[in-house]
Structure 1
Amino acid sequence: MDEDLLTVADERSLTAVAGTLRAIADQLERGDRLRLEGTDRQVAVPLPDSVAFEVGLELEGVDESEEEDGDETDRGSESEDSGEAGDEETHFELEIELEWPVTDADAAEVVSTAKSGEQVESTVKTDRIDAECPHEVVAIASPPESLAEFRLFEDRAGEWRWHLRHQNGNIIADSGEGYTSKQSARNGIRSVVRNAPGASVLEERPE
């Protein structure tokens, strides 16, 4: 019998999706456990040395008879008509699937984070997740809207830089140096987005 330990489905920006996948990839690279947090629970499961890996990209909602005709113009107009009639829209679907065997029946650790009064499906529960590595738990529920944005620009010397600007106009952070290419500057932005949430604060006092 299948048991749904954690599911989150919403719509978000590509940047937010990339950040979530990147955080999950970091856990896969470290091994040990995969720790995820949804809207009402945290889940931790052990990771093996290797997994069955599958990636699939599908075009869904296409009528096979129309696909065989190969008439792109007619297909587009008919898709619009069918959409108005309430039929399923045509869309791309990217699926990434990892699968590995369970070696321990009690391997899944689940902690309820639901507020009082909310119903949560019963499953294996433990209080070990928060106590071990709370900073490693990946929040896959919809992230809050950012109050800042990165600005990527080319300076007078022809080098690329970035600013992190708050919505009030204040610059929160900057690249500190120029990059020879736009891609390198983008990589710098990605590094900040990736590493800043778990960064520690080092306070230095004058001697």
Structure 2
Amino acid sequence: MGEETLFESTAERTRGEIAAYLRALAAEFDSDGPVTFRDGEYALAATPPERATFDVEVERESENGESELQVELEIEWDESQESSAERIDEPSEPDVGIQFAPDSEERPEPSQGRFEVYRDRAGEWRWRLVHRNGNIIADGGEGYSSKHNAIKGLRSVQHNAPGAGIEDVE
């Protein structure tokens, strides 16, 4: 039985960065579409089935009087017609998938807000940005037919908003 690594990303990150990545990963799993991983050069789209095996493991490795803790999260499923994994060399959209911010000396402060994706009374999917105090800061302004499309809309805002100017419109 052979093993093939389809995607791997390893770097030292802050707790806030790791939490943001895990939240984005959870949103991808919660959507109807594939879970897309990015590494800057390419993306990998994996379509999980409705049910999978989820394994959480905390290990301590000790050697020469020093120890290291590891938390491993593993999600497994058999490949079948309802699941797949496919490398995307040139994603059609620059904001597709989840990715850590590029390594740099200047890292943004952890966000004071969180994105929420929800179904409205009409059954459409919407997103909103909520401050940690519970106030709604922004919303998508429109309903989407699928959760996946609502997440794509909020990812577009995440990708395109940094550095956006302020225009006074009267």
TM-score of the superposed pair, with normalisation by structure 1:
0.49
Alignment of 1:19 with 2:38, yes or no, is: no
The 1:48/1:3 distance shift into structure 2, 3 A limit, reads same
What do the CA deviations read for 1:7-60 (whole angstroms, capped 9, x no partner)? Answer: 111211111111111111110011320100125421001121111011111121
Higher percent of residues as helix: 1
- Number of the residue aligned with 1:37: 38
What do the CA deviations read for 1:83-142 (whole angstroms, capped 9, x no partner)? Answer: 5xxxxx301110111011111499322133xxxxxxxxxxxxxx6xx23x5433111475
Alignment of 1:149 with 2:78, yes or no, is: no
Query: How many pairs align?
Result: 130
The 1:148/1:2 distance shift into structure 2, 3 A limit, reads closer
How much has 1:151 moved relative to structure 2?
Answer: 10
**Which of 72, 90, 95 is the aligned partner of 1:135?**
95
The 1:204/1:145 distance shift into structure 2, 3 A limit, reads same
Give the aligned residue type for 1:99.
E
- Number of the residue aligned with 1:173: none
Secondary structure in structure 2 of the residue aligned to 1:49: coil
Q: Rg larger in 1 or in 2?
A: 1
TM-score of the superposed pair, with normalisation by structure 2:
0.59
| Structure 2, gaps ≥5 residues long | 113-130, 139-153
The 1:151/1:108 distance shift into structure 2, 3 A limit, reads closer
TM-align CA RMSD: 3.8
The 1:95/1:48 distance shift into structure 2, 3 A limit, reads same
Report the Cα distance in structure 2 between the residues aligned to 1:50 and 1:60, rounded to whole angstroms: 31
Higher percent of residues as strand: 2
User: Are the equivalent residues in 2 in contact too, given 1:8–1:141 (CA < 8 A)?
Assistant: no
Alignment of 1:111 with 2:88, yes or no, is: yes
Give the aligned residue type for 1:26.
A
Report the Cα distance in structure 1 between the residues aligned to 2:100 and 2:158, rounded to whole angstroms: 14
How much has 1:144 moved relative to structure 2?
Answer: 4.2
| Structure 1, gaps ≥5 residues long | 63-81, 84-88, 113-126, 153-178
The 1:2/1:197 distance shift into structure 2, 3 A limit, reads same
Give the aligned residue type for 2:39.
G
